[in-house]
Each structure stands twice: as C-alpha cells, then as structure tokens.
Amino acid sequence: MQKQPNPFSQLYERPHAKKKGGSFFGAISRFLLLGFLGAICGVTGMALQGYFYFTKSLPSIEKLNNYSPPTVTRFYADDGELLAEFAYQRRFVVPIEQIPKTLQDAFVAAEDKNFRRHSGVDKEAILRALKKNLVSGSLKEGASTITQQVAKTFLLTPERKFTRKIKEAILSTRIEDSLTKEQILYLYLNQIYLGSSAYGVQAASEVYFGKNVWDLTLAECAMLAGLAKAPSMNSPRRNLKKAVERRGYVLKRMLEDGYITQEQYEQANLEEPHIVTVSNPNATLASDFVEHVRRYVENKYGADYLYKEGLQVYTTADLHLTKAAKDAMGLGLRELDKRQGYRGPVKSLTASEIVEFLRQKSEDMERPIHFGDITEGVITQMDNENIYVRMGSYQRDGTKKDYVGFVKIDPNPKWWVRTPYLRPELRTRNFSPGDLPLQVGDVVLVRVLDPNIKRRELYLKKYGQSDPEMKNYKNYTEDMVSLFPLELEQEPLVQSALMLRENRTGYVRVVVGGYSSSDSKYNRATQARRQAGSSFKPLIYAAALNKGFTCSDIILDSPLAITVPGTGEVWRPKNYRGGYAGPVTFRDCLVKSRNIPTIKILQQIGIDYVKGYARKFGYVSPLVENLTLALGSTGVSLEEQTNAYSVFPNKGYFVPGVYVKKIVDRKGRVLEEYDPPVLLDDPVQGDQADVKQVSMDNRQQRKPGDNYPLTSLPARRAIDEGTAYIMTTLMQGVITEGTGTILKKIVGRPDIAGKTGTTNDYIDAWFVGFNPDYTCGVWVGYDTELSLGDGETGGKAAAPIWGYFMKEVLRNKPVRDFIPPSSVEFRRVDPKTGLVTASGNGVQEVFKVGRIPAESQPKFFKGARWDAAGSDLDQF
C-alpha cells in the first residue's frame, strides 16, 4: 500500500538552513507576543480577581437612601423659647433646597472643583496631586472628591490604608450611578464636621453666626467652607485670623471658577466677621428644670432616643418667672446671710496685684456695669466716712469708662459689716465686734446703687418745700455724682429651693433647685428630703376637720408628758416660744402654729389615719409612725409639699405636677401629650384614672413599647370642698395674724394663704402658700445640718423669699377671692368658749353645714373637756 503524505508534516519540517536566522527572530517575536498577551490576561485576571475581592465585601449604598443621622433633641419653654439641647452630635438636617446655592458653590470650589463633572473619582485631580507630591517628595495634596468623602464617612471606616482608597473609589462610582449631584451634596453638607461640636452646615451656621443657613452672607458661606479642611485649626472662635485667611482662599476659588463676580469677591473680603460666642443663657437660667425633664425623658425613652433622635420636648417652664424666682431667692438669702454677720473680704492684694486685678477685670468686662449689678472691686482708699472701690474699666469701640464707687461707712457698731460672722470657721478675717474689718487692697463684693439717689436727697433738702413733687428735678444740674454709690455684699453660703405650679393645670412653671446651680447638680426642690416642721401641720388639721373637728373647738394648750413605747423615756414637747396658752381655738392652734395642741389633735385622730390621709395629697416619702409627725419630723420634698398644698385652692382635687406638655419625634409623631385635667364633681375611685388615648392612626405610628400620650386625665378628689375651703381660711389667718404676717407688707394683697415651717435648732425653714391660681413652696437651709442662726424661722428666713417672688408672679393680676362652697356656712362665735353667740358679738367663723355648735350647749372637745376653772378634765 502506498504511503499517504502527512498533511501536518510541513508544520514539523525543519526549516532549510538558509532560513535559519529569520526563523529565530520570528520565534522570539512570537514568544514575546504570547508573553505580553499572557501578562495582559494575568493582569486582567488579577484585576478582576481583585475587583471581585473588594466588591464582594463592600457595603450596600442603599444606606444612603435612608439617611437618618443622630440629631439634636431640643427642650422648649412654655413660650417657645429654646431651653436646652442634647445630642451626641449637634446636627440639624436641612433639605438641599434650604441650603443656599452660594454655600453649595463655596464647598464645591473649596473641596472638589470638578464635582459637577466627574463620576466619583477626579482623574485630573489625581494626576495633579501625584505631580505635586512627586516634586515635593511628600504627601502635600490629596485628591478625594466630595463623593469619595461621602463614601468614606457613611460606608467605610476611617483607617488610612491603600485598600480603603480602592474601596472608596469603587463605592464613589456606584454612588454617582445611583444618586444625583444634589443628593450627594445633601448628604455631605448635613454630615460634615465643622468644629465647635457642630455637625452639618445648619449647626455650624447657628454656632458661629447665630443664624439659619439660608440667611448666611457670601462671606459667611465662604468661611464655613473654609472650615472643611481643618475645622479645629481654622475655627473663627479659636483663630479668627486663620479663619479669615481661609475665607479669602475660598472666595478666590469661587471667583476663579466663575461662581461670583469681582465685585462680590471684593465686598465679601472686606466684610467684618461677626462671630457669636454667647451660649444659650436659658440653659443656665432654668438648669434645674431642664435637668429634671432630661432625667424624665432619658428614663422613659432611653439615652439613645434622647441624644440621637432629635426629639422636640415642649415643657411648662416660664423663663420670666424663673428669673424672678432667682432674683427673689438671691435677695432673701443675702438678707439672711447679712443677719449672721460679715465674713470679711474676698481676698487681699498687694500694690502690684491690685494693678493686675484691675487689668484682668477690665479685660473680662463684656458690658457696662448697670445699677443693681453685684460685682467685685478692690479698695483703693479709705477715710472716716467712705470706702472707695475701683471695679475696673469698660473699653469697647474706642471708648473707656472707669468704674469707681464709694461705700458709706455706718458708724453704728451693730452695722452688719462690723458684726463677725456667726461661725468663726467660715470667716475670712477675724475681728472684734464693732470693728471695721477692711483695709486698702481688700477685694470686696459690692452692689451698684442708683447714682441719682444722693442727688434726689440733696434736691429735696434744698428745694423740697417749694417743689415737694420734684417736678423740676429733670432740670437740676447741681450736685452731679461722679462716683457710684455702693453697698457691701457677700455671697450667701446657705442654700434654698423654690417651686411654682399652676393649681388647676398642674403645670410646673418654676423649679430652682439651689441658690447657685453651678455649685451643684443636686436639685433640692425634687431630690432633697428635709424635715417639714410646722409646714406639715395643715395635713393634720385637714384630717381633723374630716374627722369632725371644727374651727371653734377649744383645745387645751398645757404641759404634755408622753411615755415613748419600748424605751420608757418621757417626751415633754414644748411650744416654739415656750409657755402655754391654755384653752385656745382650733383655728388659733394652726394660725399661731402651736405644737402641743397639734400633738393632742394627732393623738385623737390617730397616726395611721393621718398617714393614709397624707397619701391622698400625693406624699410618697415614708412618714414617721409616732407623734413627732405632728411637728413635721418626717422628711419630705419641696415638690411633694407644693403639690400637696395645691389641693386646698383646687377645692379638694389633687392634680399632680406636670413638667412636659408634649414630646414629638423627628418624623413629627407625637410620643406623648398632656392636656389640663377636668375637675370632676364626683370623686374618682382609686388613685389612678383611665387614660384617654390618641387616635388609632397615630398610635400605630409610635415606637414599639411606648406608653402613649397622657391626655386629659380626670383629677382625683383628695378631700371634700368644704374642708379645702376651711383650711384655706385658716392659712389666710397665718398671714393676717399668725407666723407669716411679714407677707402682709411684702405682697400686700388679701388673696394669699400659706403656712410656715421651722425645725429644731433652726436647721430648716419653710413657707408654702398659694392664691387661687398658683401654689409656691420655698425651703431654706444648709445641705448639712447646720443652724441658720438664732430666730431664723420659716416666717423670717423663707417667707420673705416667697413674698418677693409672688409679688412679681401676681403683678398686674386682679385680686381673686377664695369662693366659699355651698357646703359651708358662717356664724359668729365666742373665741373663749367656741360657742355661737346670741348677740352680734364674737368673731366670724366658718363651719361645714350641720356642724355648727349650739349657743349654750356645754362643749366637749375631742377628748378634753374644759371647766370654768380652766382645769384639764380629760387629757388625751
């Protein structure tokens, strides 16, 4: 068989010798080509492998479509004024439509020139940065786009690695494919940190300029954009010069990129920056109220909800009355502190230290000194009549005003400044009574008085007979005062607390938890439990009225000896001033705050009964289980006292104190809302009433697990209306003829009632009182059990503060009578016997219907009968 030729043999034939050289180079070429193709395939494969490696671990950009960053929770006062803010990050999210185009352009010009042209990664910027970095030999310039910054901030960790940059670039292209440029800017401008705890442009606008972002000028927009690179270093608060330089840089970039004209550029460069530095003063003014509400919100909704979810919390706080309360407290405590004597100067300075003191004080002076201000000054001269004090200088806008004043020396050896302070350990300078413990170089606290006071005195002395009404005083040019009249002051060491609430609504308007909130976060109005003293007595007397006592009942004020169960000791209680009044009326016992008759009343009605009765008034503190309860030995809070006393002007209804009207979340959903209660005629059974819920639609939108809004809670009747009215008349008597008569002079109106309270050794002083609309409680004392000073009773130490404050609360408000209900009636009685008088003599008294004593009936009084000789026939 003939051999067939192999069709592939040519492929394997050895080339002829003459073709040997060409064949070699061809092989090399083919080898290189195949190697190049292989390399390309390898690199491509590695690139694909790397791409898939990086992309499979990348987060989804879907997160950007549900942007819900941590925002600021804001508390508002009753009039809508901002009270305080709480946040982990101070941010206010604003729609891109509300962010001015000028501000958007400023950030684009400063941070990403080609933002509106690139697709997430700016290749031109990368090459430009690479060239500069190679030339300089260091990383002097970056090339991250705004989109890349969004990817890094929202989707990646802040680690500085090459792998992160790759992920950042991939995510940026995805973001550009999914979002518009406006959506990307919206995320960027709301998320970026711009220093001073400000996240986002709205927060920064408020922090630096005190305005909304849509009200910014071109220059202000440029300054904010200049903060993006290094917000702390370029902050206008820390380095205004650097901030202005950065502003100029941004403005130049905006000009070069065509965003602004040459004229706009020049005008903006010349604009004087106005940086706000004052924080919200309301947060300090109402700090105790704010902290109480903050704890409530955090306890109910959790810390994350408070600090991240941008809640709008509408409170019942009244800022005007809070300011009045602090002023009244300061005035009352200063009076109390001065009665204890003078501690001495704040400190003493040498001649060189005086110069430095005045220089520093002038530098720190942010406004001119006003009449009524209390400030420090240094004594620079003294003579037999005056102490001359320099208080520094106010220097602003090219003007300078030196503040120099004088204190008139009182020669009276009993002048409070000549009286050493009650406790020697608290004095700053030891001195003998009658001495003047001051010298040149002493730093003292002074109050600035009206400089026209002296001029008016001189005018009246010269022209008082011809012009007693001082009609021509405005034209009086003589005796111009060149020095400010001053009076010496000292910061009180004693503490106080005050609370004001509306009776019907329960709205708490004022909470002041201490004289100086900066000294302590301890809220003495809500957290402290102090012995109530005689301010607890109205609860015992109300219980007694409910048990059948009347205001004309005669109680024997006589020595009392009580054996203490279990110990065998004998307790012999005494009245405040000692002595015994003999037979006195039930009314007189409370009005004059007599201790022994109160103990006898408690013995008669029972301790357990009073404890249960007190719970109806909202007391939750443990109450002592012995007869010292009659003297207020139990510890209660000022909040409990104030809420309890509101039962009397509320005609017997207990309405709890309310601090929050409404809470709304960031989406506008109402989490809770409170409406004033309806005062029902019939008692509500039990301590809790049904809660009226909001609509089902709203309830379905609330956060899972929420207790939804409290609205329109029916009030709970604590006592009958007749008892409430009679008790009101008894406490009106406290002010007209009892232990609170100082209030007749201070407040000067009849529609107020209340009760004083003083504990052993004058450790605690109370006054709790009300009118038909408001109830206010005041406590005064030290945080430790120190005496306020001899004779510092509730009527002397606490009542004046109550009076100064309530005078402001009731200013320009008409007098409102306490209206007697139909369940009471009036008769004239003989105060010696407690019996109704046949003639028109005696005093008018109020009784519950059906409980009026007969005209000649022998009177038996709740465990004690009184005979003509005045002996105690039946002691109880």
- Asked if residues 527 and 679 have their Cβ atoms less than 8 Å apart, the reply is no
Q: Cα separations (Å) of 295 from 289, 290, 301, 512?
A: 10, 9, 10, 16
Buried b (16+ CB within 10 A) or exposed e, 781-793: beeeebbbbeebb
pLDDT at 682: 38
Residue scoring higher pLDDT (498 or 10): 498
Is pLDDT at 324 greater than 50 in this prediction? Answer: yes
Q: Cα separations (Å) of 456 from 245, 373, 487, 582, 812?
A: 55, 21, 18, 54, 28
Active-site entry in 287, 496, 534, 535? 534
Please compute Rg for the chain using Cα positions: 40
Q: What percent of the chain has pLDDT over 70?
A: 81
Interatomic CA distance for residues 73 and 415, integer angstroms: 52
pLDDT at 470: 72
pLDDT at 460: 76
Per-residue 3-state assignment (H helix, E strand, C coil) for 70-96: CECEEEECCCCCEEEEECCCEECCCCH
Task: Give the amino acid at 362.
Answer: S
Report for 33-47, 334-348, 566-580: range of highest mean pLDDT: 334-348
- Asked if residues 741 and 760 have their Cβ atoms less than 8 Å apart, the reply is no
- Asked if residues 517 and 287 have their Cβ atoms less than 8 Å apart, the reply is yes
User: Could you count the other beta carbons within 10 Å of the beta carbon of residue 866?
Assistant: 22
pLDDT at 602: 97
What does the block give as tokens for 486? 């001053």
Q: Is 86-277 a domain of CATH 1.10.3810.10? A: yes
Mean pLDDT lowest for which of 268-282, 303-317, 608-622, 861-875? 861-875
The mean pLDDT of the chain is 85
User: Could you count the other beta carbons within 10 Å of the beta carbon of residue 720?
Assistant: 18
Q: In degrees rounded to 5, what are phi and psi of residue 801?
A: -60, -45
Predicted confidence band of residue 461 (pLDDT cuts 50, 70, 90): confident
Residue scoring higher pLDDT (636 or 463): 636
Interatomic CA distance for residues 730 and 769, integer angstroms: 12
DSSP 159-198: ---HHHHHHHHHHHHHHHHHS-HHHHHHHHHHH-B-STTE
DSSP class of 534: G
- Asked if residues 58 and 170 have their Cβ atoms less than 8 Å apart, the reply is yes
- Asked if residues 97 and 115 have their Cβ atoms less than 8 Å apart, the reply is no
Interatomic CA distance for residues 281 and 266, integer angstroms: 36
Q: In degrees rounded to 5, what are phi and psi of residue 294?
A: -60, -45
The CA-based dihedral angle spanning residues 229, 233, 234, 236, taken in that order and rounded to the nearest 10 degrees: 150
Report helix, strand or coil for 864. strand
Query: Where are any strands of DSSP class E within 490-533?
Result: 495-502, 508-512, 530-531
To which residue do tokens 């010269």 refer? 462
Active site residue 197: no
Fold adopted by 343-489: OB fold (Dihydrolipoamide Acetyltransferase, E2P) (2.40.50)
Predicted confidence band of residue 144 (pLDDT cuts 50, 70, 90): confident
Can you state the angle between helices 721-737 and 537-546, rounded to 10 degrees? Answer: 140
- Asked if residues 782 and 759 have their Cβ atoms less than 8 Å apart, the reply is no
Task: Give the amino acid at 141.
Answer: E
- 3-state DSSP percent of the chain in helix, strand and coil, to 5: 40, 15, 45
Is pLDDT at 244 greater than 90 in this prediction? Answer: yes
Burial of 273 (0-12, 13-18, 19+ CB in 10 A): middle
Is pLDDT at 876 greater than 50 in this prediction? Answer: no
Q: What is the pLDDT of residues 863-873, one digit of tens each?
A: 444 433 333 33
pLDDT at 128: 62
Q: Pick from 666, 647, 663: which is nearest to 655 by CA?
A: 647
Average pLDDT over residues 179-186: 94
Predicted confidence band of residue 565 (pLDDT cuts 50, 70, 90): confident
pLDDT at 520: 59
What does the block give as tokens for 521? 């976060």
- Asked if residues 865 and 873 have their Cβ atoms less than 8 Å apart, the reply is yes
What does the block give as tokens for 471? 């009609």
Active-site entry in 111, 220, 640, 672? 111
- Asked if residues 123 and 115 have their Cβ atoms less than 8 Å apart, the reply is no
Q: Which residues lie below 8 Å from residue 704, measured CB to CB, with a gap of 6+? A: none
Confidence (pTM): 0.83
Mean pLDDT lowest for which of 138-152, 692-706, 751-765? 692-706
Average pLDDT over residues 444-459: 80
CATH architecture designation of domain 495-657+718-809: 3-Layer(aba) Sandwich (3.40)
Mean pLDDT lowest for which of 104-108, 468-472, 717-721, 826-830? 468-472
pLDDT at 281: 78
What does the block give as tokens for 54? 């990086």
Which residue ranges make up each domain of the chain?
86-277, 343-489, 495-657+718-809
User: Could you count the other beta carbons within 10 Å of the beta carbon of residue 76?
Assistant: 18
Q: What is the pLDDT of residues 477-497, one digit of tens each?
A: 655 556 789 999 999 999 999
pLDDT at 399: 75
Q: What is the pLDDT of residues 505-516, one digit of tens each?
A: 999 999 999 997
Predicted confidence band of residue 855 (pLDDT cuts 50, 70, 90): low
Predicted confidence band of residue 38 (pLDDT cuts 50, 70, 90): low
Q: What is the pLDDT of residues 544-555, one digit of tens each?
A: 999 999 999 999
- Provide the residue count of the chain: 876
Average pLDDT over residues 685-689: 35
DSSP class of 585: E
- Asked if residues 799 and 731 have their Cβ atoms less than 8 Å apart, the reply is no
- Asked if residues 780 and 765 have their Cβ atoms less than 8 Å apart, the reply is yes
Query: Where are any strands of DSSP class E within 316-441?
Result: 347-348, 374-382, 386-396, 399-408
Q: Which residues lie below 8 Å from residue 648, measured CB to CB, with a gap of 6+? A: 538, 542, 724, 727, 728, 731, 753, 770
Burial of 264 (0-12, 13-18, 19+ CB in 10 A): middle
Buried b (16+ CB within 10 A) or exposed e, 663-681: bbbeeeebbbbbebbeeee
Predicted confidence band of residue 396 (pLDDT cuts 50, 70, 90): confident
What does the block give as tokens for 820? 């007697």
Active site residue 785: no
Interatomic CA distance for residues 317 and 674, integer angstroms: 14
